[in-house]
A and B are shown apart, each in its own frame.
Chain A
């Protein structure tokens, strides 16, 4: 008996088409291996983060609202790998329920219907659902044995809890479980949901070096050899500020920062090339070679 393949409306957002290409690549590798179809939403637009919702509440709703309307037309739930996209889509879904006037305005402006029927999944929820995680377990080719990884969730996946309704907002464990599934060793540390500095990475690099530096220090002190993330901005900040953070703290950081999907893909036997592991700033390959994982 063959099951209907799992199908999702795929919302890559701007990052996965540009700075986070390796996230996009690895998503698709994992999806293929797990027998999941990701159908990119046609004519998708910017989710608005963060400029839209701090400028105009309606615009902040309408941009992700239109994406949701498009997904509804496909009759599918949405997977949004970027944490900011996920946050905006989830918030829009909440607001649609609370502000019927917004929905009316949106429907008038776009000529599309929005009922809220499409659920929004973040990448961790998507990976840990029964069928996907069972498929991953079955297709496991190269368990990441002995790789100590700090699961870094960032701020947006779990907050605000009333919108995301995902895991424990202070001590989430979903990514820890995924890491266990692929044979890696999740390293519990106190900064799983601390702020990395987010978009201040453009305007206040000093602050980001400080904030990301604390996360890196906590992960390294807890014994992690690498960090796993589920957000392009987290990846950029943690990956690009290691030298500056090290200078501030008088120490050296050398922690590769992987997307969780890259690690899953690796365990499923995908090549470094397929997973875009060469696109990182902190060398992502040496550690894997050292551990004979690539």
Chain B
């Protein structure tokens, strides 16, 4: 029998407050195989770890059980301790007597009894622990960045600057994303495009970045270090190599439609670049509105193009790339404001969204920065800004706070007061949330220096009265109803996941929450990683964010990719599923239950009773396997085993627990 050492942790009073650790130690001493037992106030501390190493040497320990907290917290710590003491790190077994015991119980007697049960199971398992060796896989040092907004741009630049190849894929005809639509940015009021466009140009010019705009991700296969991605480059209708970006085609195109970039408050042509600083500065033909595509007649753009770059018959191209890491930076959509019938968005022309207002105050927007209301192009003498339209509303919207709306609405009100000197700005709010550097000061200034009027109350109705709009709310500070007549209303819509976020997540094989935001691996400690190794998150695809937070997260994701690429090979976790091909009947029930698509069928040829037989068995891709164990449960033949958690080990734990459970029950 192997020699087992057991280290019981008090975790200060975290464990010892509820569990009588010394009594557990007394009983553990009598367990078969246990040759050494020690208690520590903090086993994870340096002296705690040192005493483990000392005991390993002095008592010739072959297996170590640490009874402390969750293995999620300190298993890596103690594995390193074992390694430092010259043992195989997988000879460690953790018994979780904190999260699974002391923290969730109050009765000291029962908690102590349970703690002992947990430790004895760990000992039973540890006796059967095998030495495991990590595997190695190669890394393709090229990254794919999905989405060319500020998040994707920042991540791409950071990775490229570190000397690695980056493929930046953007769905729209240009990179720039939402930030390109904004006028100024809070709280410093620097011009959004002035700080963004240099980065866009850097992206286009960077020797390490390959830009694919008007392109979409079709398929992802493979695993960390070795992804195979399929990208569809949509037909632009323009030969990018020949086009000089002169813009003549756009000037001459006879078809005018609502501009997506101007969110309906401006127009564009059927052949267009979304905005003057677009990168690349090459137009696309919008086939749905193009007169030639619709009627077979026109071809004006083709006639005026001196570079002969128009290609009406161009087709989508599909190609594959191999990458080692993926950064998802696909951004967000805005809540559908028409869900609030009482606000009249879509009914009253002067009820607009914050993004539309952003276009109205933008110097390169449809009104050249002059605030004019859509109905009659007059300068509104009063504007109401309504916060939380969709946000923090369980009834009609989403439960969460969209985080950026308070600040950009404060900015809008300030900008409006700057541009319309004697105009009045009202902000209807539930709470003004300003948790950022220099945010609160910015908010205060809007009220003290710019005279923005804040009314605490969520409007119940907005209606038209002549040329005015009336906003009705309860002023919850005064406790009475208010009605304010204004010339224009700006609604701040909730930030919601991209309409196809769930499909994107499924393509990538990453998890997403109930709303459709992509899930980080840990909300605090692993905020830019997903649960799928090698795929990272940046920006609002993970949750609502403002620009500073987005850029910080994008650089963090970039750093993660660079750290990954700093190695030549990747160490893989050895706790992966293994198939005993002799037992496997090839039913492949394991395949659909695998969340990581790590199991495939494989054909084996063997000689049975003198004949050569070919049959199918399951095969695990160890690069994809995350060791969850779902397949071992599904396996009817017991052929699937998870290294470090074999059926044998798990059953040993159960047997040990049940061995004297019946008499124990009688005593209790």
Residues of chain A touching chain B, judged by Cβ–Cβ distance below 8 Å, are: 168-171, 190-191, 218, 221
A191–B344 alpha-carbon span in the complex (Å)? 12
How would you classify the secondary structure of chain A's contact residues: helix, strand, loop or mixed?
loop
Cross-chain contact B340 with A170 (CB below 8 angstroms):
yes
- Return the contact of A191 from the options B340, B341, B463 (Cβ within 8 A): B463
CB closest chain-A residue, reference B469: A190
* B513 CB–A CB distance under 8 Å: no
- Chain A residues with Cβ below 8 Å from B466 are 221
A170–B345 alpha-carbon span in the complex (Å)? 12
- The total of chain B residues at the interface (CB under 8 A) is 10
Interface residues as binary, B453-484 with A (CB distance below 8 Å gives 1, 0 otherwise): 00000000101111000000000000000000
Cross-chain contact B342 with A170 (CB below 8 angstroms):
yes
Cross-chain contact B341 with A190 (CB below 8 angstroms):
no
- Return the contact of B341 from the options A170, A218, A221 (Cβ within 8 A): A170
- Chain A residues with Cβ below 8 Å from B340 are 170
A191–B341 alpha-carbon span in the complex (Å)? 12
A214 to chain B, nearest CB (A): 10
Q: Could you pull out 11 A-B pairs where Cβ atoms are within 8 angstroms?
A: A168-B341, A169-B341, A170-B342, A171-B341, A190-B344, A190-B463, A190-B464, A191-B463, A218-B463, A221-B465, A221-B466
Q: Which are the 5 A-B pairs with shortest beta-carbon distances?
A: A170-B341, A190-B463, A171-B341, A170-B342, A168-B341
A51–B463 alpha-carbon span in the complex (Å)? 33
CB closest chain-B residue, reference A161: B395
- Chain B residues with Cβ below 8 Å from A170 are 340-342
B366 to chain A, nearest CB (A): 28
A40 to chain B, nearest CB (A): 36
- Chain A residues with Cβ below 8 Å from B347 are 171
CB closest chain-B residue, reference A218: B463
A191–B466 alpha-carbon span in the complex (Å)? 14
- Chain B residues with Cβ below 8 Å from A168 are 341
- Chain B residues with Cβ below 8 Å from A169 are 341
A221–B470 alpha-carbon span in the complex (Å)? 15
A191–B461 alpha-carbon span in the complex (Å)? 10
Residues of chain B touching chain A, judged by Cβ–Cβ distance below 8 Å, are: 340-342, 344, 347, 461, 463-466
B473 to chain A, nearest CB (A): 15
B463 to chain A, nearest CB (A): 3
> In the complex, given contacts A190-B464, A218-B463, what are 13 additional A-B residue pairs having Cβ atoms less than 8 angstroms apart?
A168-B341, A169-B341, A170-B340, A170-B341, A170-B342, A171-B341, A171-B347, A190-B344, A190-B461, A190-B463, A191-B463, A221-B465, A221-B466
B154 to chain A, nearest CB (A): 41
A171–B463 alpha-carbon span in the complex (Å)? 12
CB closest chain-A residue, reference B338: A171
How would you classify the secondary structure of chain B's contact residues: helix, strand, loop or mixed?
mixed
A169–B465 alpha-carbon span in the complex (Å)? 21
- Chain A residues with Cβ below 8 Å from B465 are 221
- Chain B residues with Cβ below 8 Å from A171 are 341, 347
A256–B465 alpha-carbon span in the complex (Å)? 22
CB closest chain-A residue, reference B346: A171
B522 to chain A, nearest CB (A): 37
CB closest chain-B residue, reference A222: B464
A221–B341 alpha-carbon span in the complex (Å)? 20
A176 to chain B, nearest CB (A): 14
- Chain B residues with Cβ below 8 Å from A218 are 463
A167 to chain B, nearest CB (A): 10
A15–B340 alpha-carbon span in the complex (Å)? 34
B189 to chain A, nearest CB (A): 36
A191–B483 alpha-carbon span in the complex (Å)? 15
A191–B340 alpha-carbon span in the complex (Å)? 15
A140 to chain B, nearest CB (A): 30
A262–B463 alpha-carbon span in the complex (Å)? 29
A168–B347 alpha-carbon span in the complex (Å)? 14
A170–B344 alpha-carbon span in the complex (Å)? 9
- Chain B residues with Cβ below 8 Å from A190 are 344, 461, 463-464
A54 to chain B, nearest CB (A): 22
A170–B461 alpha-carbon span in the complex (Å)? 9
Q: Which one of B340, B341, B344 has the highest number of Cβ atoms from chain A below 10 Å of its Cβ?
A: B341
CB closest chain-B residue, reference A191: B463
A170–B464 alpha-carbon span in the complex (Å)? 15
A191 to chain B, nearest CB (A): 7
B364 to chain A, nearest CB (A): 35
A190–B347 alpha-carbon span in the complex (Å)? 10
A218–B461 alpha-carbon span in the complex (Å)? 14
A218–B472 alpha-carbon span in the complex (Å)? 15
CB closest chain-A residue, reference B343: A170
A216–B344 alpha-carbon span in the complex (Å)? 20
CB closest chain-B residue, reference A168: B341
CB closest chain-B residue, reference A190: B463
- Chain A residues with Cβ below 8 Å from B461 are 190
B198 to chain A, nearest CB (A): 45
CB closest chain-B residue, reference A171: B341
A287 to chain B, nearest CB (A): 25
A168–B344 alpha-carbon span in the complex (Å)? 13
CB closest chain-B residue, reference A172: B341
A191–B347 alpha-carbon span in the complex (Å)? 14
B26 to chain A, nearest CB (A): 54
A169–B347 alpha-carbon span in the complex (Å)? 16
A211–B185 alpha-carbon span in the complex (Å)? 44
- Chain B residues with Cβ below 8 Å from A191 are 463
B573 to chain A, nearest CB (A): 49
B359 to chain A, nearest CB (A): 26
A168–B461 alpha-carbon span in the complex (Å)? 14
A77 to chain B, nearest CB (A): 28
B386 to chain A, nearest CB (A): 15
B452 to chain A, nearest CB (A): 27
A190–B464 alpha-carbon span in the complex (Å)? 7
A169–B341 alpha-carbon span in the complex (Å)? 8
A250 to chain B, nearest CB (A): 16
B347 to chain A, nearest CB (A): 8
A13 to chain B, nearest CB (A): 29
CB closest chain-B residue, reference A188: B347
A250–B344 alpha-carbon span in the complex (Å)? 28
A196–B347 alpha-carbon span in the complex (Å)? 24
CB closest chain-A residue, reference B344: A190
CB closest chain-B residue, reference A162: B395
- Chain A residues with Cβ below 8 Å from B341 are 168-171
A97–B657 alpha-carbon span in the complex (Å)? 46
B65 to chain A, nearest CB (A): 52
A53 to chain B, nearest CB (A): 22
A161 to chain B, nearest CB (A): 9
- Chain A residues with Cβ below 8 Å from B464 are 190
- Chain A residues with Cβ below 8 Å from B463 are 190-191, 218
A275–B300 alpha-carbon span in the complex (Å)? 65
CB closest chain-A residue, reference B341: A170
A170–B462 alpha-carbon span in the complex (Å)? 11
CB closest chain-A residue, reference B470: A190
B618 to chain A, nearest CB (A): 48
A191–B462 alpha-carbon span in the complex (Å)? 10
A238–B465 alpha-carbon span in the complex (Å)? 20
A171–B344 alpha-carbon span in the complex (Å)? 9
B207 to chain A, nearest CB (A): 56
A171–B341 alpha-carbon span in the complex (Å)? 6
- Chain B residues with Cβ below 8 Å from A221 are 465-466
A171–B466 alpha-carbon span in the complex (Å)? 19
B459 to chain A, nearest CB (A): 12
CB closest chain-B residue, reference A194: B461
B219 to chain A, nearest CB (A): 41
CB closest chain-A residue, reference B463: A190
A122 to chain B, nearest CB (A): 19
A171–B340 alpha-carbon span in the complex (Å)? 9
A218 to chain B, nearest CB (A): 7
A143–B541 alpha-carbon span in the complex (Å)? 55
